[in-house]
């Protein structure tokens, strides 16, 4: 009953196999090997465009280094108040961009809107030196609330980004889950929707430590090799990162993993909807579910071996908040989540519901 994080799973068997397969023999270091080149080509095939691809160790590195290419002195990145880059990366974006500000904006269920961006531009407008310069929009797909932007929502953000000369960055730590949730292709969800740079995450979906910065707008990539190395993020034995992606992409393994995780999340959602005492906090997509449980139910789940995080509700609108005696929890499914884990969790939280329900 592991719902704490999709980072708690190890790597999938197929990723491990690829790692073993590519371990033999000598290969040039620092990305000069053939496999690294093949992975770039693989990305180009998957995204149906001539993108530039750089592998790094962590999602935080992917995000912060991406943003460093998009921001200038006094730079500002518009993002959601609760965006990972703003609250969960220990200031890495600020540090690796040499001081750009992650400007938090309001938005229901983790999503930015053109109105929010317009509001941000009132606070950090173009051309006023004191306020710094507005440089980019960063959105998370899937969001930190488990929701996913529709193509229409992405395009609306891309439109204001283009109008306002803001670069558009996507934090795709859960890219595959979002993509499957909205039924789009990789190309549609990125460059066709106006995304300039993507942090493409594989770690949460089956790899050990495989993240990639993908530049659809190659202008931003011109000095990225130096940025990556300067931050200590150029692997010497790069092929081991490439090997993970090789296993990840082969035979649609990445899609299978994300499909499974999303399915488990939906199983959870269905169970919560059927519960008399618990409920979903808001309709999430992807592999993250936010639920409101009676505190006693949460306790029962923990006693039954359930592992999950209680989630802060400060700042949420009233209708998303737990009531008296309730708590808000986050439940994350991964490629390793089993249906019986989900069912056991549901059984545990519903344990004290009256038996007449069944009758």
- Helix (H) / strand (E) element for 267: namely helix 253-274
Is 2 a binder of a copy of itself (CB under 8 A)?
yes
Contact 203, 59 (CB under 8 A): yes
CA of 40: how far to CAs of 15, 48, 267, in Å?
Answer: 17, 12, 35
Is 260 a binder of a copy of itself (CB under 8 A)?
no
Q: Which of 10, 283, 317, 339 binds a copy of itself (CB under 8 A)?
A: 10
Stretch that binds a copy of itself, among 47-55, 118-126, 181-189, 279-287 (CB under 8 A): 118-126
Give, as ranges, the residues between 130 and 169 that touch a copy of itself (CB under 8 A): 130-133
Instruction: For a copy of itself, give the closer residue by CB, 109 or 239.
Output: 239
Nearest approach in angstroms of CB 357 to a copy of itself is 31
Nearest approach in angstroms of CB 352 to a copy of itself is 27
Q: How many residues bind a copy of itself (CB under 8 A)?
A: 81
Is 39 a binder of a copy of itself (CB under 8 A)?
no
Burial of 359 by CB count in 10 Å (0-12 exposed, 13-18 middle, 19+ buried)? Answer: exposed
Instruction: For a copy of itself, give the closer residue by CB, 4 or 46.
Output: 4
Q: Which of 50, 129, 318, 324 binds a copy of itself (CB under 8 A)?
A: 129
- Cα 268–chain centre separation: 20
CA of 257: how far to CAs of 15, 30, 88, 343, 355, in Å?
Answer: 11, 29, 25, 19, 36
Residue 162-201 contact track with a copy of itself, rule CB under 8 A, x = bound = ----------------------------------------
CA of 217: how far to CAs of 120, 151, 287, in Å?
Answer: 24, 19, 29
The SS3 assignment for 295 reads helix
Q: Which residues, at least 6 apart from 68, have a Cβ–Cβ distance to it below 8 Å?
A: 96, 97, 98, 100, 227
Length of the chain, please? 359
Nearest to 204 by CA among 50, 15, 1: 15
Stretch that binds a copy of itself, among 151-159, 175-183, 235-243, 294-302 (CB under 8 A): 235-243
Q: How many CA atoms lie within 13 A of 86 on its CB side?
A: 21
Q: Which of 111, 204, 267, 330 binds a copy of itself (CB under 8 A)?
A: 204
Q: Which residues, at least 6 apart from 212, have a Cβ–Cβ distance to it below 8 Å?
A: 43, 53, 54, 55, 56, 62, 199, 200, 202, 245
Give, as ranges, the residues between 281 and 320 that touch a copy of itself (CB under 8 A): 307, 312, 314
Nearest to 287 by CA among 153, 175, 185, 170: 175
Is 232 a binder of a copy of itself (CB under 8 A)?
yes
Nearest approach in angstroms of CB 57 to a copy of itself is 4
Stretch that binds a copy of itself, among 223-231, 245-253, 296-304, 351-359 (CB under 8 A): 223-231
C-alpha 263/C-alpha 241 separation (Å) is 28
Is 56 a binder of a copy of itself (CB under 8 A)?
yes
Residue 83-112 contact track with a copy of itself, rule CB under 8 A, x = bound = ----xxxxxx-xxx-xxxxx----------
Nearest approach in angstroms of CB 200 to a copy of itself is 15
Nearest approach in angstroms of CB 245 to a copy of itself is 14
Q: Which of 41, 45, 72, 155 binds a copy of itself (CB under 8 A)?
A: 72
Instruction: For a copy of itself, give the closer residue by CB, 64 or 197.
Output: 64
Give, as ranges, the residues between 317 and 336 that touch a copy of itself (CB under 8 A): 336
């Amino acid at each position: 009953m592991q719902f704490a994080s999709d980072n708690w799973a190890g790597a999938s068997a197929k990723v491990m196999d690829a790692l073993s397969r590519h371990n033999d023999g000598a290969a040039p270091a620092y990305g000069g090997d053939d496999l690294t080149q093949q992975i770039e080509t693989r990305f180009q095939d998957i995204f149906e465009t001539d993108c530039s691809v750089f592998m790094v160790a962590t999602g935080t590195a992917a995000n912060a280094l991406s943003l460093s290419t998009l921001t200038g002195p006094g730079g500002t990145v518009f993002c959601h108040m609760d965006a990972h880059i703003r609250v969960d990366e220990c200031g890495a974006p600020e540090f690796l961009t040499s001081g750009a500000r992650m400007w938090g904006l309001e938005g229901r269920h983790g999503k930015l809107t053109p109105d929010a961006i317009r509001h941000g531009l009132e606070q950090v407008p173009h051309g006023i030196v004191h306020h710094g310069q507005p440089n980019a929009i960063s959105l998370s797909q899937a969001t930190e609330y488990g929701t996913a932007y529709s193509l229409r929502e992405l395009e609306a953000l891309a439109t204001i980004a283009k109008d306002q000369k803001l670069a558009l960055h996507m934090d795709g730590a859960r890219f595959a889950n979002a993509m499957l949730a909205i039924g789009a292709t990789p190309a549609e969800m990125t460059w066709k929707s106006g995304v300039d740079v993507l942090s493409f995450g594989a770690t949460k979906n089956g790899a050990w430590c495989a993240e990639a910065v993908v530049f659809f707008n190659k202008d931003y990539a011109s000095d990225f090799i130096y940025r990556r190395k300067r931050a200590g993020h150029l692997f010497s034995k790069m092929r081991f990162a490439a090997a993970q992606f090789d296993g990840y992409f082969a035979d649609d393994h990445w899609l299978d993993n994300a499909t499974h995780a999303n399915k488990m999340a939906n199983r959870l959602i269905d169970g919560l909807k059927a519960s008399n005492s618990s409920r979903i906090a808001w309709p999430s997509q992807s592999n993250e579910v936010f639920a409101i449980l009676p505190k006693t139910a949460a306790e029962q789940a923990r006693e039954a071996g359930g592992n999950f995080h209680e989630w802060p509700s400060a700042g949420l609108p009233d209708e998303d908040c737990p009531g008296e005696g309730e708590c808000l929890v986050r439940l994350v499914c991964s490629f390793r989540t089993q249906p019986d884990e989900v069912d056991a969790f549901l059984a545990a939280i519903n344990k004290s519901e009256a038996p007449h329900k069944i009758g």
